[in-house]
Amino acid sequence: MGQVPDLPTTSYALLGLLSFEQELTGYQLKQWADASLRFYWVAPAMSHVYTELARLERHGLVAARARGGDGTRATRAYAITDEGRHELRRWLEHSPVEFPLLKHPVALRLFLGHVAGPERTKRMLVDYLETLREQRADLVQVRAELGDDPAFAAPAMVADWGLAYYDFEARMAADLAARLDADADEPPAG
């Protein structure tokens, strides 16, 4: 059954961005990835975007078009091909959906609470709350730009999900900080 192995997920993520039908340069793709992908997948390095694009092109899933020969600067704009659309659909339909992977340094450090002590751990949670606020503000911006454009209904759903997630995290961090306070007041046992 000549099954070709899947490309790395990040390839499909980038191909997916291109599936919204606009022609994009590597640079633009990176910008969009930073404003969307980064919240639930990764923010690929600039250089990685270019290597990924090269691979996609090698596979015929995207096509580059030289843009602005004379006068303006020459750049390469990439567009998804029919084969690319087909392969993206194949991947979405037939390849197994992995369970989310969470790399959560705050949770890891909380886990090690006995080493850092309750004050330091609580402080970390409070700092986390602040960062969460900043990240949330960025995402609010992104969500606002999507508006209710039906072409971006799905991205809007994901953004809403992300917003709710940040709210959940803030609630948890606050609760856990409070719990550390309570434990500190009444230390080992009654």
Partner DNA sequence: TGTAGCATGTAAGCCGTTACATGATTGA
Partner DNA sequence: TCAATCATGTAACGGCTTACATGCTACA
The structure tokens listed for 80 are 């998804």
For the residues of 32-78, what is the DSSP string, one character each? Answer: HHHHTGGGTS----HHHHHHHHHHHHHTTSEEEEEE--SSSPPEEEE
Residue with tokens 């191909």: 15
Cβ proximity to DNA, 66 vs 189, nearer residue: 66
d(CA 64, CA 141): 31
Residue 16 found at the interface with DNA (CB under 7 A): no
Cβ proximity to its own copies, 66 vs 108, nearer residue: 108
Selected from 66, 115, 144, 182, the binder of its own copies by CB under 8 A is 115
Stretch of residues binding its own copies (CB under 8 A), selected from 48-56, 58-66, 68-76, 103-111 = 103-111
d(CA 9, CA 101): 13
Residue 22 found at the interface with its own copies (CB under 8 A): no
Selected from 126, 133, 168, 178, the binder of its own copies by CB under 8 A is 168
Selected from 19, 32, 35, 75, the binder of DNA by CB under 7 A is 75
